[in-house]
Amino acid sequence: MPGTVGRVPTPSVPTPGAPAGPVATGPTTATAHPWAGTPLGAPENWDPAVRAVMDVVLDSPVPMALLLGDDLVLHYNDGYAELIGDRHPDALGRPAAEVFAEVWREAGAGEALERVYRQGEPFLEREAVLPAEREGKSPAEPAVFTRGHSPVRDSTGRIVGVLTVSAQTTQLTQQLQSLSDFAAALSGTLTLDDVARVTLRYCLHSFDADRVSFAVDEGAAWRLVRRVRGELLDEADERLPPLWRRMPTDSPLPAAVAARSGVPSFITDGQPLRDVAADRHDEKIRALAALPLRSSAIRGALTVGYQAPRPWSPAERALLAASAELIGQAAERARRFETQHGTAQLLQRSMLPERLPDLPRLRIAARYDPGVDGNAAGGDFYDAFLLPSGALGVVLGDVAGHDVQAAARMGQVRAALRALALSDSRPDAVLGGLDRLVGSLGTEGGTHELFVTVVFGVVDVDRELLTLASAGHPAPLVRRGGPDAAAEFVEVPPGPPLGLGGRARTVTVPFRPGDTL
């Protein structure tokens, strides 16, 4: 075997005509190792196929190692360096059997790697034990990983090493589950307040952070909300609006800088909030990650901080980036909802009666209560107005939908109903005219999904009668006054919703002093 020194063969030299250049420089200190003084030789003399694999290893955020030659000499990236802890950087350029001597002869360890190298068959270890000596872990506390081993071949097809890809199973599973739960929680948010509450709670606990902040733009300024470790919040506190703090557009706060630039930053150790600290909690932060929200419709940022230095591993950076992506999408949806919701609510309120009739023998009141999901906009409407006969017309209706279009349709229906009633106040005639209008609107809009229900009544105070007709709306309730007070639904003949060509029928019931509709 040409180029062999001892038991460590030098990977094949470049093939004729192949470009001979240095291996791609990655972030790891492995690239600075003096390989020229080892039996492997200088990287620029390595086979192109081997150099291509090395490029992948060094550029990957996933822990990867390339073991070359008969002695399986170690070359790895930053992710793998973090896994092996104190063994780095001495492990670079040394045989794997020496680096992991205490477990090399255990089942599924060195024997598996040597088999891949000798026989060329890939091997997957679902529960591999790699002794870790990271800070906070003792050598007696090994970590469990899933590892894949694949043979590496040079340009001639000869096996020259083994590629190992590792992932800590427990940590990865927990992180993915946490990210999945976060995405599910964000999917249920409607407003930016909701997004802020979910984001702060998730990031503080999932990243075990000391400080988390969320910032969004407000056109001429930024607004930021923060949570720190140790804040005691009960369920009632969680339902309160977040305490937003406003900042100028040129604020030097890391969240504002990241939001303006769109570039993430990771400070491993320092005083990133010293000049902009709001209190002692900010002053204690030494490591801070600031990630912009990836959204075309809203600018903002997420920051996660710690009171101790933090290296920000590739896996952690990737998880933070994925979280910021989810937050950006939720914030964009919330901003659209708030904009549309505000417009629809304003439109709807403007189309409802400003004041109700003031009559000597009737007391009239109306109350509009938003839905439990916080969506107060849409097509629900009411009205009360005097008719030419002196009777009172009362209306309750609903145009399906919770947006600007529903509010606009509601305005059309309400205005048309009043016009029809002032011409002919018979409830069945009014609903008949409305049915034709809604059918025309559906045809004009090219949709058969326009769903409108209405109940219309006429209160004749002099005759003490109430005449009602319904187009698909729930029956009204009448509470009888007097000593035998009781409430009962009026048995209005059922009719289909408007626009379907149905014919409404009326019912007349007593409506005496003390009764309430």
| pLDDT for the residue 346 | 64
Both ends of the chain: CA-CA distance in Å? 100
DSSP reduced 3-state for 486:
strand
| pLDDT for the residue 6 | 30
pLDDT digits (tens, 9 = 90+) for 169-201: 666 566 667 888 888 888 888 889 999 999 998
| pLDDT for the residue 452 | 86
pLDDT digits (tens, 9 = 90+) for 287-338: 999 999 988 888 999 999 999 999 998 888 988 999 999 999 999 988 888 7
In contact, 265 and 257? CB cutoff 8 Å: yes
Q: What angle do CA 393, 395, 396 make, to 5 degrees?
A: 165
What are the b/e assignments for 188-210, b being 16+ CB within 10 Å?
A: ebbbbbbbbbbbbbbbbebbebb
Could you tell me which residue, 131 or 349, shows the higher pLDDT? Answer: 349
Backbone angles phi, psi at 325, to 5 degrees: -65, -45
- Segment 112-129 shows an average pLDDT of 83
Beta bridge partners of 151: 162
Mean pLDDT is lowest, of 46-55, 183-192, 300-309, 348-357, for: 348-357
- Residue 341 pLDDT class (50, 70, 90 cuts): low
In contact, 184 and 319? CB cutoff 8 Å: no
The CA distance from 478 to 517, in Å, is: 5
Judged on CB neighbours under 10 Å (0-12, 13-18, 19+), 473 is buried
Amino acid 36 reads A
| pLDDT for the residue 278 | 87
Sign of CA dihedral 328, 330, 335, 340: positive
Residue in this structure with the two tokens 């209405």, named with its chain if needed:
454
Could you tell me which residue, 35 or 110, shows the higher pLDDT? Answer: 110
Could you tell me which residue, 517 or 38, shows the higher pLDDT? Answer: 517
Helix (H) or strand (E) holding 457: strand 452-460
| pLDDT for the residue 144 | 62
Going along the chain from its start, the domains and CATH numbers come out as 4-168 (3.30.450.20), 188-343 (3.30.450.40), 354-365+376-510 (3.60.40.10)
